[in-house]
Amino acid sequence: MLPNPNPLIRVLMFLSMVVVLLFYAAQSVAAEPTATLTTKAKLILEQQLDSSKVKHKFRSDVICLAENIYFEARAESYSGKAAVGNVTRNRVESDSFPDSYCAVVQQGPVRESWKTKQDPNLKAVWYPIKHKCHFSWYCDGKKDVIWANYEKTGELIAANAKAWTDSIQLAIMIAGATELQIKDNTKGSLYYYNHNLVTPYWADHFDYMGVLGNHTFMR
């Protein structure tokens, strides 16, 4: 195991990361929903959007937020899913992050497609740099499928269907697409991490807000 860098180096590393992220934040990768939905997942989505009478102008935001909740917290409790959604909303409302749900979910450094880079006649196409996104699922190199066809067991499929339904319902409320609202249960947190998997060096630079499920929340 490598030794921890001294405090000055850690601060410099943190500031460097911030500069890089701010520089690349101006580049938009997609700014629209990107996950692949199975036929049943699409049906659940449309049913929830229609039953809540979500207007067309809110749909992209709701879907991007629902995708983020699902991939980041589908194994969490309802409150745990809500917490991830609330952090996403807090970022949208913060001057330090993009001002739309899709842009916040997809935020991170990008690279131009080799094909468009070689041909000036083609419109530039940008891709997220692997493992550099704010929300890890978006650029972890895995296919983002709700829910994956290889998940054959009935129990797992049912669990994912419920998680997807919860994610959509929460996204509709958190994004303000319905009169029914949901309170922020993270005390205004802008960051979180799974304390069972990582202890990020940047955690020392923010205020601890609490723990909910597998996530530690910070502001």
pLDDT by residue (tens digit) across 112-141?
998 898 998 999 888 899 999 999 999 999
Mean pLDDT of 174-190: 93
> What is the model's pTM?
0.83
CA distance 71 to 134: 13
CA distance 98 to 34: 17
In eight-state DSSP terms, residue 35 is -
Confidence of residue 8 (pLDDT cuts 50, 70, 90): low
Give residue for tokens 């490598």: 2
pLDDT tens, 30-88? 578 999 999 999 999 999 999 999 999 999 999 999 999 999 999 999 999 999 999 99
Confidence of residue 179 (pLDDT cuts 50, 70, 90): confident
Nearest alpha carbon to residue 68 among 86, 50, 46 = 86
Sign of the C-alpha dihedral, residues 15, 194, 31, 143? positive
* DSSP string covering 34-98: --EE-HHHHHHHHHHHHHTT--HHHHHHHHHHHHHHHHHHTTS-HHHHHHHHHHHHHHHTSTTS-
Start-to-end CA span in the chain (Å): 29
Backbone angles phi, psi at 172, to 5 degrees: -60, -45
Q: Tokens standing for 187?
A: 């005390």
Task: Check whether 27 has a pLDDT greater than 50.
Answer: no
Task: Check whether 9 has a pLDDT greater than 70.
Answer: no
CA distance 213 to 186: 12
What pLDDT score does 170 carry?
98
